Amino acid sequence: MTRTALPAKGRPADEILTELKDFSAGDPDYKHGRLWSLVYYLDEDYADFLGKAYQQFASANGLNPTAFKSLKRFENEIIAAVAELFHGTPEVCGVVTSGGTESCLLAVKTYRDMARAERRVKNPEMVLPVTAHVAWFKAAEYFDVKVRLLPLDKNLRADVKKLKGLINRNTVMILGSAPEYPHGTIDPIAEFGKVAQQHKIPLHVDACVGGFILPFIAMNGREVPLWDYRVQGVTSISADIHKYGFAAKGASTITYRNLNYLKHQMFVYEDWPGGIFASPALLGTRPGGAYSAAWAAMQYMGTTGYRDLARKTCKALDALRNGIAKIPELYVMGDPAFVVGPLLAYGSRDAGVNIFAVGDQMDAKGWKINRLQNPDGLHAMITAQHTAVTADYLRDLKAAVATVKANPELAKSGSAATYGLMSHLPLRGMVRSKVLETFAAMYRAGGGEVDLDAAHETPQGGLNGLVTRLAHWVSDVAAKRQHRQP
């Protein structure tokens, strides 16, 4: 039952807490390694610890850094640790934000305003590899910065040879990722750095997913291509604590090589009747609990804890990579020298095996796996927790491939048909407006019930909950296309 109004009378706390537990009944099972995205989970004890750390500062507000000295201290210590981890000089400075998206949005705002102030750039542009996280495309739209897309080479790595050709006097920043989300590839940051320095353009490294694991993978002795402040051209880095830092949700960082960059991120309004106002980041009220939990997570783990998690994650990564390589119909995307974790993507090299149909088979076995497009594929965001399930996963994957190979018609049913059409339909504007329409409908007044039902039919993350509702449209489009064919 969805409640449609505030209860007339307040309810007892224990009754509410019990009901909260019921709310999670239909959510993905992230505690047993079935989910391959969205959640970073260790165990109940650790979750309790984070909750307690969060609770102590849940009401504290980081809006005004001079009011809650505790929060500013958390922030200082978090930023100092991150700067050191990324081999920054003592000048590296930064801000704790609410998440990766806020960190990415801020970088775009900062460099746009810096170019305005220092070079009078009126029509700002930035260079993004096509694999840049969607947050960057959101930033482009929000802040009206034109995107110049850097294509990939045949190994799905950003093609640095084409970078120079995309830079002009309006370029306010270049982006590289460590690693990029779709295939887990570390962009050629050292080469980007040279170009950035030659052209005197800021280079941001999006290490939202990699920031709290790549340093520890390297400490454990694996070759990791250079991506941090050791690369001279790198001017800023975003790194999420609520991903591989294992903090509670709502904590990321953005650091800059020095204050000359960061100052362009600041907002000041001196004429407000409510008082003179200054703010370092996007949010007004900043959640104290997210800060204390992030700080607590980093203190709890320390270098040894994060190294241990990185070791287990790499073990799961290796097991998956080797296991998938043994399934002749599949291939792992990217060049292993640049895919060092924690993400992995794979596709089909057999025209008779539709990878989305393989995904449907995996769903049916209780796995929750994200889909990729251009090229079509399946995705794994690997955590230490997955070490325990890689054998089961690979066994099910092998069986799924065999089933799809024996029943190629599976590609035309289930969510495979929807994903197939959605990613291959040449009319991208039409796909965009259909997704927008369907997505917006989930937010119409009283739309919650529908949302839950859809999620129940396709219990996956991301946009996948839309799949059921888009299926009708897809079968319509498919029917019309067939009709038109001679």
Ligand X SMILES: *Cc1c(COP(=O)(O)O)cnc(C)c1O
C-beta neighbour count of 69 within 10 angstroms? 9
C-beta neighbour count of 303 within 10 angstroms? 12
Minimum CB separation of residue 39 from ligand X in Å reads 12
Choose between 41 and 277: whose C-beta lies nearer to ligand X.
41
Minimum CB separation of residue 17 from ligand X in Å reads 27
Rounded CA gap, 3 and 153, in Å?
Answer: 52
Choose between 211 and 420: whose C-beta lies nearer to ligand X.
211
Site residues for ligand X, 233-272, by CB under 6 A, read 240, 252
Structure tokens at 81: 């640790």
Choose between 71 and 135: whose C-beta lies nearer to ligand X.
135
Span near ligand X by CB under 6 A; candidates 4-12, 119-127, 206-214, 228-236: 206-214
Out of 50, 158, 208, 357, the residue judged to bind ligand X by CB under 6 A: 208
Q: Which residue has the tokens 């400075």?
A: 93
Question: CB neighbours of 186 closer than 8 A, spacing ≥ 6?
Answer: 177, 178, 179, 180, 210, 214, 224, 225, 227, 338, 339, 340
Minimum CB separation of residue 244 from ligand X in Å reads 10
Minimum CB separation of residue 104 from ligand X in Å reads 5
Choose between 301 and 343: whose C-beta lies nearer to ligand X.
343
Choose between 62 and 100: whose C-beta lies nearer to ligand X.
100
Strands 343-348 vs 377-381: parallel, antiparallel or unpaired:
antiparallel
Minimum CB separation of residue 390 from ligand X in Å reads 22
Minimum CB separation of residue 238 from ligand X in Å reads 7
Residues belonging to the chain: 486
- Residues in contact with ligand X, counted by CB under 6 A, come to a total of 13
Closest CA to 240 of 228, 226, 229, 255: 255
Beta partners for 380?
Answer: 344
Beta partners for 254?
Answer: 95, 238
Q: Say if residues 266 and 126 touch (Cβ distance below 8 Å).
A: no
Choose between 88 and 99: whose C-beta lies nearer to ligand X.
99
Q: What are phi and psi of 446, to 5 degrees?
A: 75, 15
Site residues for ligand X, 412-451, by CB under 6 A, read none
Q: Which ranges constitute the DSSP H helices of 258-339? A: 259-262, 288-325
Q: Assess 212 for contact with ligand X (CB under 6 A).
A: no
Choose between 103 and 348: whose C-beta lies nearer to ligand X.
103
Minimum CB separation of residue 383 from ligand X in Å reads 13
Q: Assess 206 for contact with ligand X (CB under 6 A).
A: yes
- Residue 323: strand, helix, or coil: helix
Q: Which residue has the tokens 């590839």?
A: 185
Rounded CA gap, 290 and 72, in Å?
Answer: 13
Q: Assess 229 for contact with ligand X (CB under 6 A).
A: no
Q: Say if residues 137 and 148 touch (Cβ distance below 8 Å).
A: no
Q: Assess 177 for contact with ligand X (CB under 6 A).
A: yes
Site residues for ligand X, 93-152, by CB under 6 A, read 99-101, 104, 133, 135
Report the interface residues with ligand X, using CB under 6 A: 99-101, 104, 133, 135, 177, 181, 206, 208-209, 240, 252
